[in-house]
Amino acid sequence: MRIIVASDHVGFPLKQAVVDHLTSLGVSITDAGPHTPHVPVDYPDYAQRVGRAVAAGEYERGVLVCGTGLGMSIAANRIPGVRAALCHDVYMAEMSRAHNDANVLVMGAGVVTPQQAPAIVNAWLDTQFDAGRHVPRLAKLDLGFPSAQDQDPNPISFRFGVALSPQPTSFGPLLYAGRLAEGLRMAAQAGFSVVELSLRSVEGTDADGLAAMLDELNLSLAAIATGQSCIHDSLCLCDPRAEVREATVERLKSIMLLARKFDAAVIIGGIRGRLSGTAPEQEEQRAAAVEAIRDCARFAAARDVMLLIEPVNRYETNFINSSADGLALLDEIGEPRPKLLLDTFHMNIEEPGINAALEATGDRLGYVHVADSNRLAPGQGHIDFLGVLHTLARIGYAGPVTAEILPFPDDLAAMQQAGSFLTSLSAS
């Protein structure tokens, strides 16, 4: 770990104690000054020096000292990306890391003695960030607070949703699988306005009962995913057998008729399956799959149902992996109504840049899935979802933004993490 340390002239003695302690621990440090206590200096200059270095990623952490610590903490926190915490005891140091992920420690030389400082520094270095419920709160801090003049007078209001499954399934990134009523109730409580359902088939689906539950909870059904037909029933569009492809198309058409009742879209993603065999055999399968999708597109258009093509990463299929693949398929199908569904999890694997892919798709984007780089709730990995929402707003996308995520650590926690994180980003 690399740490940059600075103080003003009043905090100089305590800063030296911190430098000596960090050196004894073998930590790589940079003393950014001052180098004498006898010349008065201005604390904002040193707060800026440390804060900018930490925010730029040149150092993992920073330590600042002045007389009370107040001036340094105020100054450092004016720099975006800095979370400076004024800590005068071990408990405050621990909480600053566990709950606030503080990257700059501030102490006051008039409050903390050189003898007390090592324990505070140790607690701050050793305590890990708890993440979880604290992630969306920190997202708000990192976004800052725009002034009234900076507010968009006509902001896009995103419709956030979550993907559920009415039946148990081996497909992982779905919440409350087999517990639909509970999942719908929790989705409403978590602040979602729409849901997506992953259906194996329409058999056993009580459309009237589903409509009543949605209406009671003020939810709407945004889309129906169809991949479980391929996973559980081996009904896949890339199957080399014509009778299987025909049965798959019939399954899709029955789902479209259900979707029509809810003004919901239908997703063709995992139901494509995989191309197999030799190169000529794969080319033949691909042509047959494209024709099947074209048939589905025409059926959907005649019934005013949105058909969505979802590119899926190379580890799950070898047919339509990237947004460019998806756009090319839309051109090949030759029907005007189908659009793309882009999923940030798959895009993180396949696209050189997520935002560039969204911009290139433009008005042919019909739906968005969000999951972090590890397929957990947004905010649990490294994808820049603020940038994603800014890009969606810039291209004028106003459709659903649905979390299709793994139920980790459990369904409820994943639901709440996704809901609070997305809501906090949208509000900012």
Which residue numbers are catalytic?
310, 404
Interatomic CA distance for residues 179 and 176, integer angstroms: 5
Question: From CA 123, how far away is CA 129, in angstroms rounded?
Answer: 12
Token pair, residue 351, equals 């696209």
> What residues have CB less than 8 Å from 80, skipping those under 6 apart?
55, 142, 144
Query: What is the DSSP code string of 114-172?
Result: TTTHHHHHHHHHHPPP--TTHHHHHHHHHH----GGGS-SS----EEEEEE-SS--S-S
Integer Cα distance of 292 and 220 in angstroms: 29
Computed from CA positions of residues 269, 274, 279, 282, in that sequence, does the dihedral angle turn out positive or negative?
Answer: negative
Per the DSSP assignment, residues forming a β-bridge with 162 are 195, 403
Count how many residues are written for the chain: 428
Q: CA 34, 37, 41: angle at the middle one, nearest 5?
A: 55
d(CA 186, CA 219): 11
Asked if residues 359 and 394 have their Cβ atoms less than 8 Å apart, the reply is yes
Beta carbons within 10 angstroms of residue 141's beta carbon: 16
Coil, helix or strand at residue 23: helix
Q: How far apart are CA 64 and CA 62, in angstroms?
A: 7
